[in-house]
A = this chain, B = another copy of it.
Amino acid sequence: MLGNTYTGQTCSIAAALDVVGERWTILIVRDILLGLRRFDEIQEDLGVARNVLQSRLKRLVEHGIVERRPYQERPARYEYLLTDAGLDLWPTIVSLIKWGDRHAGSPAGPPVVIVHRGCGGEIDDHRICEACGARVSVREARALPGPGAGPGHPLVRRPGGGIAA
């Protein structure tokens, strides 16, 4: 069996993968970025087993990437939000989107297009707005469904949802 960590590696990538390299973790962060904040919404979107999602969310909370916040008292209900460290995963997510679009994408085209809120221009591989040249941060970005988005895509079902990604 493989060990669970890459501790032998003096490497910031290994350190990052220790926290976000588990199966599903990056997709959970993506879903929260897209505006899915409740356990059932994320579970339904990913189709992941509930106990797996629970353990991944717990670990993300422990590592300060996700914050669990009550939104209702009786019965107690929680929603999940990204912390600043969680939002800082946005560049990784953008680079995976761009790689996937280019090398593993569907013939229908990209499922998501990321635009600069300020001017509506698309962002390039460096997260720079192709229209106005601004360096776009996560809070200045907006995700729109692209030509490859199927009817079940979270951005199609909840247009306008999400900060970005």
* Contact present for B27 and A6 (CB under 8 Å): yes
- Looking at the complex, which one of B15, B93, B106 makes contact with A105 (CB distance below 8 Å)? B15
Q: Copies of this chain, how many?
A: 2
- Looking at the complex, which one of B23, B46, B97 makes contact with A12 (CB distance below 8 Å)? B97
Whether A150 touches B10, Cβ cut-off 8 Å, given contacts A92-B92, A95-B95, A126-B128, is yes
A91 proximity list for chain B (CB < 8 A): 95, 98-99, 125
Which B residue sits closest to A47, measured CB to CB? B8
A92 proximity list for chain B (CB < 8 A): 92, 95-96, 99
A47 proximity list for chain B (CB < 8 A): 8
A40 contacts the other chain (Cβ, under 8 Å)? no
Task: State in angstroms the CA–CA spacing of A35 and B148 once bound together.
Answer: 37
* Contact present for A12 and B150 (CB under 8 Å): no
- Looking at the complex, which one of B24, B49, B111 makes contact with A11 (CB distance below 8 Å)? B111
* Contact present for B2 and A52 (CB under 8 Å): yes
